[in-house]
Amino acid sequence: MVNIHELHLKDLQNPFHPSVFEEYNDYRLLILRLPDQLGKKTKIHSYGFILTNEDLFYYDKNKADFIRFTEGITHLYHFLDDKINSLMVDIETVQEKIAALESSLYKKFTSTFMDHWHDLKKELSRSERVIFKAVDVLKLFISKSKSTKTLPINEFDDLYEHLERTLRSNVAVNDQLDNLYRYYSLRSTDRMNRSIYILTIISVIFLPLNLVVGFFGMNTGGLPFQHAMGTWDAFVSMIVFAVLLTLGVLWKIKRE
């Protein structure tokens, strides 16, 4: 095993280290940070590798030790291929969840939509940033390693295409979430406008009645309806006035 610089060893040990590829005199350092599981709680791991002219080592954080890949660069391809294929399956699962969320939103407008939306949006935005960086680093690694005869270029180009496709899928489902949010916002605004509209109509009907009640509530003499059946006459008059005013408002709404 080649001697690793102390700072590079710390990079390999860091579980949150971003994707990076760097070349040094005796070895090359490759770290790819990829989502290991997409969903309500996305798990993201950094996978570190040391490449020399003869050997390739994977740093196992659980064992805090280097594991030699016996098949070299081919072993690295299979390792990354498994991770990326698993990620592609997770993206498809998230797409199905968003489709179900969209269907439920169209069927029934509920406030719980935002809870599910927020969870998915947070995780997908996070994974998109991570995958975007990993795509750039993998592309750099392939371009820098093409000169070596051991690199299976077709396999790694296919690996890069899969990771890039995963990024495009991630971006697509993120956009789909944004479209759902805009639809939800429009529905919420429409419901609020309807509520305000109804309250305005109620205010138009009852505001004049409040003025009438206030008028008859004055502690002065000479008010109308002061005979024995005055309260009943006043009540009937207010009912008739409210009905006429309501009919007038409805007629106005119908004309518009």
pLDDT along the chain (256 residues), means of 10: 85 93 91 79 87 90 90 92 91 87 81 82 89 95 82 91 93 90 85 80 74 68 64 73 74 68
- CA–CA dist 167, 73 (Å, integer): 24
Supply the range of the domain harboring residue 12.
Answer: 6-191
Question: Which one of 173, 191, 209 terminates a domain?
Answer: 191
Q: In this structure, are 160 and 212 located in the same domain?
A: no
CATH of the domain at 23: 1.20.58
Model-level pTM? 0.73
Question: Which string of b and e fits 174-208 if b means at least 16 CB within 10 Å?
Answer: bebbeebeeebeeeeeeeeeeeeeeeeeeeebeee
**pLDDT given at position 221:** 62
Question: Which one of 137, 158, 191 terminates a domain?
Answer: 191
Q: Are 77 and 53 in contact (CB under 8 A)?
A: no
Residue 140: count other Cβ atoms within 10 Å of its Cβ. 15
Mind spelling out the 3-state secondary structure of 99-168? Answer: HHHHHHHHHCCCCCHHHHHHHHHHHHHHHHHHHHHHHHHHHHHHHHHCCCCCCCHHHHHHHHHHHHHHHH
Question: Which one of 191, 214, 236 terminates a domain?
Answer: 191
